[in-house]
Amino acid sequence: MRRYSPCLAVLAGFLFAASAFGQGKGGSAALIGTLTIKAKEGTKLPDSFDVVLYRSDRTESGRQSVKNHETYRFTGISSGDWELAIEGDGRTLGRLKFAINSTRSDVRQDLELEWREKSGPAATNAGTISSLDLYKRNPENDSLMKQALAERAKKNYAGAVKLLNQVVAADARDFEAWTDLGNALFAQGNQGEAEKAFRRALQEQPSYPLALLNLGKLNYGQKNYDAAIDILSQLVAAHPEAAEAHRFLGESYLRVKKGSKAVPELEEAARLDPENQAEAHLSLAALYDAANLKDRAAAEYEKFLAVKPNYADKKALEKYIRDNKKL
């Protein structure tokens, strides 16, 4: 996996758009992919998972029971908007919207999730959005991308930027490379050029969630909260499972003093990914404390400490809880 967030955490997630291969037959495509559920050693997973295909009107078009690491296949897929859902353990583990623009080629859509014991499965690494390798590039550019990611891993951001610039110069449609370029530029502290790179990625693929999330977080970091709200609202509408997007959308609403809109976003972030978005409880507690709703603030601090028991200021939070918790 090779996803880097420009702000707080490593990004990850589902493959977001379909990649074509082979030749479709009879005016329709086949949708094929492998389901991978990653889990810690010794974790007991369900025996199988359901991969469910929905049309744009949410009508179920097909359902297959698939074991971990097995391949699913749906046939007769026409052009249009589609959605895949992965179900297991009596719940929906994730959803993926995508579009098919042609039936001349079959489509591969691999799915990857990480299972978490406390909160169930979440998108790999960050519990937000996920993405497997998506853009198909030629061997030369693919080699440059691998070199760029190796340089970035060594924190040689200048080297990564140089290599990624070569990739997009050779193929300006490579929205993944534009996004990675934005990440490397941000790591250099070059926010202006990073923003241009993210916007160029979205010019090539307007719905690419990693670029949307990074651009939204960049605007948040620049205190351009209205822009962050606009971008992140688009993202959570398309990907309601994107916990980190909900978190930064809620934080943005707080900064423009729209607490009533911030609360459901922060609550959803904490619900979707309790471990990685636990700080949402701190923001909710601060909001309730300012509104003199101290019992609610105490409840949020209690939820936070349940997830982060080794928090540096634990004693101060515990005192607040004792003083204000509603009996």
- Tens-place pLDDT, residues 7-53: 222 223 333 333 444 444 445 678 888 888 887 777 788 888 888 88
Please report the beta strands in 39-143, taking only residues with DSSP state E, as ranges in sequence order.
49-55, 60-66, 71-77, 80-88, 91-100, 106-108, 111-116, 120-122
> Average pLDDT of the chain?
81
Which pLDDT value is given to residue 5? Answer: 29
Sign of CA dihedral 179, 185, 187, 190: negative
Helix (H), strand (E) at residue 204: helix 191-204
154 conformational bin, left if phi > 0, alpha if psi -120 to 50, beta if neither? alpha
pLDDT for the residue numbered 119: 37
36: part of which helix (H) or strand (E)?
A: strand 29-38
Which pair of structure tokens corresponds to residue 129? Answer: 């959005």
| Of 67-76, 82-91, 214-223, 305-314, minimum mean pLDDT range | 82-91
User: Is there a contact between 100 and 53 (Cβ–Cβ < 8 Å)?
Assistant: no
Within 10 angstroms of residue 242's Cβ, the number of other Cβ atoms is 29
Residue 125 has pLDDT above 80, yes or no: no
Most confident of 22-26, 271-275, 287-291: 287-291
Structure tokens at 232: 């992140």
- 8 Å CB contact between 7 and 217: yes
Reported confidence tier of residue 169, pLDDT bands at 50, 70, 90: very high
Question: Which one is predicted more confidently, 5 or 311?
Answer: 311
pLDDT number for residue 287 = 96
Mean pLDDT (whole number) for 198-209: 90
Helix (H) or strand (E) run with residue 31 in it: strand 29-38
pLDDT number for residue 167? 95
- Does pLDDT of 187 surpass 80? yes
The alpha carbon torsion through 77, 82, 85, 86 (nearest 10 deg) reads 40
Which helix (H) or strand (E) segment holds residue 32: the answer is: strand 29-38
Total-model pTM: 0.62
196 neighbors 172 (Cβ within 8 angstroms): no
Q: Tell me the backbone φ, ψ of residue 20, rounded to 5 degrees.
A: -90, 150
Does residue 8 sit in helix, strand or coil?
Answer: coil
Burial 133-154, CB ≥16 within 10 A → b, else e: ebbebeeebeebbebbbebbee
Q: Which segment of 45-49, 77-81, 202-206, 224-228 scores lowest on mean pLDDT? A: 77-81
For β-strands 111-116 and 29-38, DSSP reports them as parallel
Percent of the chain with pLDDT strictly greater than 70:
81
The pLDDT of residue 101: 67
